[in-house]
Structure 1
Amino acid sequence: MASETNQDASQSDGKATGGLKPTTAMLIADASAAPAEHPHFIHSLALHFAETAIFLVAVVGAIALGLGITAYFAEHHYVLAYLAAYAGFRFSDLIVREDAEDSPPRKELGRRIAAQLPLLATFAAAPFERTYIYGGSAPAFVSALGLLLELLGMWLALGARIQLGFFTSGRTAEHPVLVKRGFYRYIRHPIYAGTFLVTFGWTLIYGAPVTAILTLIIGTILAQRQMKSEEAAMSASFGEEYDAYRRETDALIPDIW
C-alpha cells in the first residue's frame, strides 16, 4: 500500500512517474565506465590507420608495377635478390618468433608497426639518394657486399632466435633460463646485430653513403636504448648471474662493442 500511496502523490502533483532521475551513484558509475571505452577507441582507430596505410602501400606498389618497375628489377639483379632474400627473412622470422603472451593483440600490432618505421625510412631513403643525387647504379662490388651482409645478418638473426627457443624449451615462469650458448656465448644481442646487418646491407645495395651513415647513427641510438631496457629487465630477473654474463660478453660486436 505504501508504493501505491507514493504513486498517487506523484500523479496528483502532475509529474511523470515513468522514470527516475539518476542518482549520484549512477552518475559516478557512468563517469568511471567512460574511460574504459577510451583505450578501445584509440586501439580501433590505430588499427584503421594501419589498415589504411597498408592499403595505400599496396596501391603504390600496384602503380609502380604498372609503370614498369619489373623492368628495373630485371636490370638490377642485386636489388631483386636482396628483396627476395629479405622477404624470406621476414617470413622465417615471423614463424620462429616468440610473441609476447602478455601483450594484447592490438597493442602488439601497434608496437610492431612502430618498430618498422625506421626500416621503412631506410628503404625509401637509399633509392631516393641514389636516384636524385648520384644517378645510375651502384658499383657492382658494393651491391654484392650489401647482399652478402644481408645474408650474414639473416643467418645471425634467425639462428639466434632458433637457438633462443631451443635452449629455453621446457622453461617455466618460476624457473627461467639464461641462454649463454650458441651465438649468445659471444654477444648478448645477436638478433639485433643480425637485423642491423640486414638493414645496413640495403644502403649498400643502392650505394647510398649518406643513408648508410644515418642508418649507423640512428640504428646505434635505437639499439642502445632497447638493449639498456632489456638488460635492466634481465638483471632484475637473473641478478648476479646476468651481471657476470654481461661482464664476460660484448653487446653487439665481439671485442668492440
Structure 2
Amino acid sequence: MASETNQDAPQSNGKATGGLKPTTATLLAEAIAAPGKHPHFIRGLALHFAETAIFLVAVIGAIALGLGITAYFGEHRYVLAYLVAYAGFRFSDLIVRDDAADSPPHEELSRRIVAQLPLLLTFAAAPFERTYVYGGAAPAFVRALGLLLELLGMWLALGARIQLGFFTAGRTAENPVLVTRGFYHYLRHPIYAGTFLVTFGWTLIYGAPVTAILTLIIGAIFAQRRLKSEEAAMRARFGEEYDAYMRTTDALIPAIW
C-alpha cells in the first residue's frame, strides 16, 4: 500500500534522489500571485537585479575608458573636478554615516540602490540635453557656479552629519537627543539640503536648464513626502519640544521653506 507522505523516490541503486525543487519561473509566478508567501525570493530577486545593474554600469564605464573618456575629461575640466569631488563626498559620507538600519544588509543595499535611481537619471539627462540639444559647453561662469554649489552642498551635508553624530553621542533609546545646534540651528534637514545642492550643481556643470528645472520640481516633490514622514515621526518622539523647534527653524531653505 502506497504511503500518503511525499517521500523521496529511490534511484535504481536504492538511494533517494531528493524532492524536486521548484524552478525560478515557478517561484516567480507564485511570488507574483502571493507576494507574502515567498518574501526571501522577492528580496533575493531585488538583490540580483541591483547586482546586475551595478555590473552593467561598470561595463559601460569600462567601455567609456576604452573609447578615450580620459581625453573628454581633459577637455572638460569642470566635469572632472565635479566627479572627483563627488566621489570624495560619497566616500566621506559613508565614513561618517550612522548606519543603524534595522533591515538585513541585502535589503538595505537594495533600498539604497533604488533610492539612487533619480540621481542616476539626473546624471544621464544633463549631458544628454547639452550634447544633443544645444551642443558645445555651457558658459564658464555657469560651470564654475555648479562646482561652487557642489562644494557648498558637500560642506553642508558632511558638516551636518558630523555634528549630528557629535551632539547625539551617548544617546540611548530611553533618552533620545533632539539636535538643535550647529547647522540644525538654522535648518531642520541640512543633510538633505546639502545633498540637493550637490545634485543640482551637476545640471549647471553641463548647463542643462530643462534638467535643472525637472530636478527642482521632482526634488521638491520627493523632499515634501520624505520630510512629512520624518517630521511626523520626530513629533511623535519629542512632542512639544519638536513643535517648538519647527516654529523657529526652516526645513530646507532659509526664509523660504
Q: TM-score, normalised by structure 2?
A: 0.87
Give the match for residue 56 of structure 2: 56
Deviation readout 1:5-57 (Å, 9 max, x if unpaired): xxxxxxxxxx24xx4548xxxxxxxxxxx987611111111111111111111
Letter in 1 for 2:127: P
Shift of 1:101: 3.2
Give the match for residue 240 of structure 1: 240
CA distance in 2, matches of 1:201, 1:82: 9
CA distance in 2, matches of 1:37, 1:109: 22
| Contact map agreement 2:138 2:206 (CA 8 A) in 1 | yes
CA distance in 1, matches of 2:140, 2:87: 22
| Contact map agreement 2:47 2:107 (CA 8 A) in 1 | no
Which of structures 1 and 2 has the bigger CA Rg?
1
Deviation readout 1:164-221 (Å, 9 max, x if unpaired): 0000000000000000000000010000000000000000000000000000000011
| Contact map agreement 2:187 2:252 (CA 8 A) in 1 | yes
Letter in 2 for 1:125: A
CA distance in 2, matches of 1:96, 1:63: 33
Give the match for residue 187 of structure 1: 187
Residue 157 (structure 2) pairs with residue 154 (structure 1): no
CA distance in 1, matches of 2:101, 2:66: 41
Please list, as runs of the form range in 1=range in 2, the aligned pairs for 1:13-52 lying within 5 A after superposition.
Answer: 15-16=1-2, 19-21=3-5, 38-52=38-52
Per the alignment, do residues 203 and 35 of structure 1 end up closer, same or farther by CA in structure 2, a change over 3 Å counting? closer
Q: Percent identity?
A: 84
Shift of 1:108: 1.0
Letter in 1 for 2:245: Y
Higher share in helix: 1
Per the alignment, do residues 43 and 75 of structure 1 end up closer, same or farther by CA in structure 2, a change over 3 Å counting? same
Shift of 1:143: 0.3
CA distance in 2, matches of 1:108, 1:138: 38
Give the match for residue 138 of structure 2: 138
CA distance in 2, matches of 1:246, 1:150: 27
Shift of 1:82: 0.1
Displaced runs of 4+ in structure 1, greater than 6 A?
Answer: 34-37
| Contact map agreement 2:138 2:205 (CA 8 A) in 1 | yes
Give the match for residue 3 of structure 1: none
Shift of 1:68: 1.1
CA distance in 1, matches of 2:184, 2:144: 28
Residue 201 (structure 2) pairs with residue 201 (structure 1): yes
Letter in 2 for 1:131: T
CA distance in 2, matches of 1:46, 1:90: 23
Letter in 1 for 2:236: A
Residue 110 (structure 2) pairs with residue 107 (structure 1): no
Shift of 1:100: 2.9
SS of the residue 2:38 aligns to:
helix
Give the match for residue 73 of structure 1: 73
Which consecutive residues of structure 1, in runs of 5 or more, have no partner in the other structure?
A: 1-14, 23-33
Per the alignment, do residues 211 and 52 of structure 1 end up closer, same or farther by CA in structure 2, a change over 3 Å counting? same
Per the alignment, do residues 41 and 138 of structure 1 end up closer, same or farther by CA in structure 2, a change over 3 Å counting? same
SS of the residue 1:173 aligns to:
coil
Give the match for residue 215 of structure 2: 215
Letter in 1 for 2:217: I
